[in-house]
Chain A
């Protein structure tokens, strides 16, 4: 039984490690400036994880193989442990794990503990059951005033835009997110009903949208294309299809788009959604 169990544990180890190194199941390629750093941090971490996992499992498989009761009169080794060994492995794991934890703050700090870079383009995102609204400030670059009391889905005022505000005249509220390539983007995230979460796998980015909070986040995308945006926080029955598209556009194409008034903005986005294709998965 000992040998069989040892072999089983080794086989499980090999198959589990294979699943990660085969490359059959891996992230979709990153499209943000922090993406490569994220991927590197994950690679370092998963290598540490893989080595620790394999070492522990191979060790476990070996002791159950080796130290099975063979029926002889010999007793097991009488030992209550070894304090020096305890100290050694405690210190080693503490150093490795805590360094990993500290290294793991770099991407976080670059996005979450820094101010929005100068020249960022700002878009207000309002999530609702089960769709997304992206509010663009228009030509003047100033958001029109919004008020939750003005929200009226039946008349298509999804974010409560105040039409009496002159700044609101050129604003667009659309269902597809378009962002510029190679330029920092600031999103102001809010929800009008329950908690949702903004998740685009290629961005290596996620952030909850919490009712009652306006959460400012920023990142820089650097690869033109069309991507899927998913909701990642349980928000009700149709959570699984609360989907939108995200277009990353060349700077000129983006500038032209956001200068358009609402109706043309939407029409142009529809064209762009056809022009760009989703990545091959």
Chain B
């Protein structure tokens, strides 16, 4: 009965007008692609900012003509000021974490493939789904506005009319609080220095909007997965991708509201004179701050990291799901320890809510709570290790096909280990006495939540592109892209550890002031060169992506000989995914190389008795190529 009702409710005819089909679409597939395009746009902004930062660190005083033209104030004569650098730090972090790492893996691939992989015709709430994207896009527009509200005197002038806390045009390209935006710096307004006016307000507003968009998405994912699985799609027959998106959605549902609340309080402190995060008795830039009293800077840190730590897993869990899925497909082997993988995903997700304090060992919170946070943090290494072992187990005895998505998945495993393992250092409160807020931390989180997640996304893109666009991406270009990127990201982020060992603090606009940093000069330049090469190589990816969309080799239904439901339908799929014929599932998601089966893969929809029937002849229901 339930299924009949769902079919009634969720079947909506294919739209015909351009606007309803491609712009304000209710189709989860179109919305998924919209999220992907948003991430592809956002990541360009984030990458350009990172290159500008690297150039400033290696060759201070470099004249960059375009910066002079665009931001005559923040980069007089084309040379970056320290405050300009710090606003790049902030915007790079914010854009990458929210608009790249949180959108593409979940909103992009999750949106597109979760309904198909569980045999649903769409998401449970298509309208909410559409809203979640458009709300997120508004958030992105707001954060881009911050660049010009602070960086451009004219635009800044418009914002200044909204009140003191909106004062703009200070010559930065956004706020200078880092993506963590710690108050009181972020709460005090323009008296705390450049980049503390309109930029911060827009930054907070953008994040608050983003939280709303993510919440809408999370509700949708959870409902869809729990209620709309097709006949035979038991929880334990779901692809690991679905488990990852499901866990991610739960994390988002429980963590984003906390950030939303914190963001609203911060905004009130800035524009309404409240004192949630501002204590009394402050003296800033030569003036006392008489109107604030009783707030707690640590309150923000608790609220922020209560969100911020689960956010790390929001970024990487979908990558883990995609990697497990793709490794199994091209290893031609079932996932090793499927059940353990499911429990590990859940364990990582749940433990992720009890470790936020490890970001705050040096913050002045109770040193006793640090002990609990520290030991819990180290225990997160256990499910992470389970996953690593099982990935190696999946490859053991395999027959690996080295396609581009497979290369990126193997790269994911390598980078996840490299980045995750240093959590054993940073999770110890004692060792944070030295390493907290050094480049060792920057190395750790860039490898694990940054590039490992990105590798998960690259793998997913190369893997699902044929399904999404009906054409394959070019394998040759894909492989060159993999090699430069894989070697490049190691060349960038491994030396960060060495800088951390020297004690190099994060978020320094220059390293010239300290004798103890002088040995880092060679490393800093090496990293910059590696970063420029790696970022440039991404042109290959963009070219491959857009060129293949129109000129790539046409893709069949199941070009990778994979098993899950998206591969039983045409590429690209029809409007309601299954053209009205909802599939029934008989097998687990990773039945590769089953002895006695006619092929080395069994589709989830193949007949129950396919192995018995086979005996060398053609059995099953004909999904064979």
Contacts and interface: CB of A to CB of B under 8 A. Distances in A.
A262 interface: no
Interface in B579-616: 592-595, 600
Contact of A281 (B279, B519, B594): B519
Given A105-B430, A210-B363, A98 B392 contact: no
A48 interface: yes
B193 A236 contact: yes
Contacts of B194: 237
Given A76-B331, A233-B437, A94 B379 contact: yes
B128 interface: no
B386 A206 contact: no
Q: Taking each of B280, B424, B519, B593, which has the highest tally of chain A beta carbons within 10 Å of its own beta carbon? A: B424
A64 B410 contact: yes
A48 to B, nearest CB: 7
Interface string B85-126: 010000000000000000000000000000000000000000
A143 to B, nearest CB: 17
B192 interface: yes
B523 A25 contact: yes
Given A151-B288, A212-B281, A69 B418 contact: no
Interface string B155-187: 000000000000000000000111000101100
Contact of B434 (A15, A111, A201): A201
Given A101-B375, A236-B193, A211 B282 contact: yes
Interface residues of B, number: 120
Interface string A230-264: 11111111111101000000000000000000000
Contacts of B594: 78
A128 interface: yes
Contact of A278 (B297, B507, B515): B515
Interface string A190-221: 00111101010100111110111101000000
A38 B513 contact: no
A192 B515 contact: no
A211 B296 CA distance: 9
A267 interface: no
Which of A25, A129, A205 gathers the greatest number of chain B CB atoms within 10 Å?
A: A25
Contacts of B285: 129, 193
Nearest to A209: B364
Interface string A98-138: 10111011111101110000000000000011000000000
A107 B86 CA distance: 33
Contacts of B595: 75, 78
Given A28-B516, A113-B367, A281-B515, A56 B392 contact: yes
B516 A38 contact: no
A52 B428 contact: no
B283 A67 contact: no
Contacts of A56: 388, 392, 417, 421
A68 interface: yes
Interface residues of A, number: 105
Contacts, number: 372
A97 B382 contact: yes
A74 B296 CA distance: 65
Contacts of B490: 12, 16
A52 B505 CA distance: 27
B182 A213 contact: no
Interface in A2-23: 2, 5, 8-9, 12, 15-16, 19-20
A200 B422 CA distance: 22
A31 to B, nearest CB: 13
Interface stretch (B46-54, B255-263, B394-402): B394-402
A156 interface: no
B503 A105 contact: no
A184 to B, nearest CB: 16
Nearest to B193: A236
A86 B337 contact: yes
A81 B193 contact: no
Interface stretch (A39-47, A161-169, A170-178): A39-47
A77 B281 CA distance: 69
A82 B522 CA distance: 47
A48 B593 contact: no
Interface in B476-531: 479, 483, 486-487, 490, 494-495, 497-499, 501-503, 505-511, 513-516, 518-519, 523
A85 B394 CA distance: 13
A78 B386 contact: no
A100 B413 contact: no
B76 interface: no
B193 A195 contact: no
Given A75-B332, A238-B82, A100 B424 contact: yes
A204 to B, nearest CB: 5
A131 to B, nearest CB: 13
A38 B288 contact: no
Contact of B374 (A46, A105, A233): A105
A79 interface: yes
A271 interface: no
A125 B516 CA distance: 22
Interface string B376-407: 01110110011011101101111111100001
Contacts of B313: none
B429 interface: yes
A59 interface: yes
B72 interface: no
Given A100-B424, A149-B288, A210-B298, A204 B433 contact: yes
Nearest to A113: B367
A128 B283 CA distance: 9
A174 B332 CA distance: 69
A243 B288 CA distance: 24
Given A75-B332, A236-B192, A148 B283 contact: yes
A57 to B, nearest CB: 6
Contacts of A93: 381-382, 385-386
Nearest to A229: B514
B232 interface: no
Contacts of A68: 399-400, 402
Interface in B170-226: 176-178, 182, 184-185, 188, 192-195
A154 B287 CA distance: 10
A101 B334 contact: no
Nearest to A159: B283
A104 B495 CA distance: 25
B432 interface: yes
B413 A60 contact: yes
B505 A76 contact: no
B378 A108 contact: no
B567 to A, nearest CB: 19
B386 A90 contact: yes
A5 B503 CA distance: 33
Interface of B: 81-83, 86, 176-178, 182, 184-185, 188, 192-195, 279-286, 288, 295-298, 331-340, 362-364, 367-368, 370-371, 374-375, 377-379, 381-382, 385-386, 388-390, 392-393, 395-402, 407, 410, 413-414, 417-418, 421-422, 424-425, 427-434, 436-438, 479, 483, 486-487, 490, 494-495, 497-499, 501-503, 505-511, 513-516, 518-519, 523, 592-595, 600
Which A-B residue pairs are the 9 nearest by beta carbons?
A212-B279, A104-B428, A101-B378, A77-B397, A148-B281, A81-B337, A201-B503, A112-B367, A25-B498
11 contacts: A25-B498, A25-B501, A27-B503, A49-B421, A52-B417, A67-B397, A70-B399, A82-B393, A148-B281, A154-B286, A211-B281
Given A101-B427, A199-B503, 20 more contacts: A1-B407, A25-B499, A52-B385, A53-B421, A59-B392, A60-B413, A76-B331, A86-B390, A104-B427, A105-B374, A108-B367, A113-B368, A192-B283, A193-B283, A213-B297, A215-B364, A228-B516, A230-B503, A232-B438, A234-B177
